[in-house]
Amino acid sequence: MEIRHYPVMHKEVLEYLLIPPGKSCMIDCTTGEGGHTSLFLSNYPDLEVIGLDRDRDIQAKAIERLAPFGSRFHPVLSWFDDYLAQADADSADAVLFDLGISMFHYAESGRGFSFRNGERLDMRLDADGALSAADVVNGYGEEALADVIYRYGEERYSRRIARAIAERRREKPFELSSDLAEVIASAVPGQYRHGRIHPATRTFQALRIEVNGELDRIKPALREAERVARKGGRIAVITFHSLEDRIVKWFFKDEEKEGRVRILTKKPIVPSDEEIAENAPSRSAKLRVVEKV
């Protein structure tokens, strides 16, 4: 089994997400290939981890990877907001969210997360989900599509991109991620096309967020995580772009004002230069941690 996911800021997460001695429970809300869970199970011999994921394929990788820990790992196929809403209050000593998309989805899933491969336009983390990226690209009105690209991708050329997509799909519906990336690249100015990042990056991010309802899940999940955590329990969240981080930051600030949590990271923790050199995608990560009071 090939493991592609690098557990971001694993040293910092272990340092801040302390587990009490003795029998304890942690909820890994975004288990992925099991990198963070493996670290915690290795460091805390009495710990049990409930590992959540909505993707059957990547969860199978985690189950295989974590098999040596036996019954201490409990995989659950679920969106984290759905699971936490049903979980018992005061039942977890720690809750971890890593909101990044695993390298598995870009490199192996074949679902169109990567604009560099000619894959079907899907982008669903839940393969049974009702909405795919093709549905958005081919079915949304031009104005609605531009709004999605601007709101979730913070793409300044959103209207130009939406117009180019609408013109192309009149001739033939989009099926492959590479076709969409080419149309996006042709719609933006030359200088932007050859900038620091691929011109399709922000649009693909926006489509993925829309398909999976990613931002809508964060605040409800944090509220439930706070309920599920025991007094003194900690909640850690790793974000990868400003839209996610803004939601987490202001939720924690509001909860601290209400006396429900204590913020342990007054400024977000960011990866070290060494980690960025070893794992370039980690460069945009931010870690925020609170303690339930």
Residue 181: per-residue pLDDT: 95
Note whether 123 and 112 are within 8 A (CB). yes
Closest CA to 130 of 10, 210, 211: 211
pTM score of the predicted model: 0.93
Residue 2: per-residue pLDDT: 56
Q: Give the residues across from 273 on adjacent strands.
A: none
Low-confidence ranges of the chain (pLDDT < 70): 1-5
Residue 229: per-residue pLDDT: 98
Give the chain's domains with CATH numbers.
Answer: 10-104+216-292 (3.40.50.150), 110-212 (1.10.150.170)
Q: For 252-286, how does the pLDDT look when each residue is reduced to its tens digit (9 = 90+)?
A: 999 999 999 999 999 999 999 999 898 887 889 99
Note whether 124 and 211 are within 8 A (CB). yes
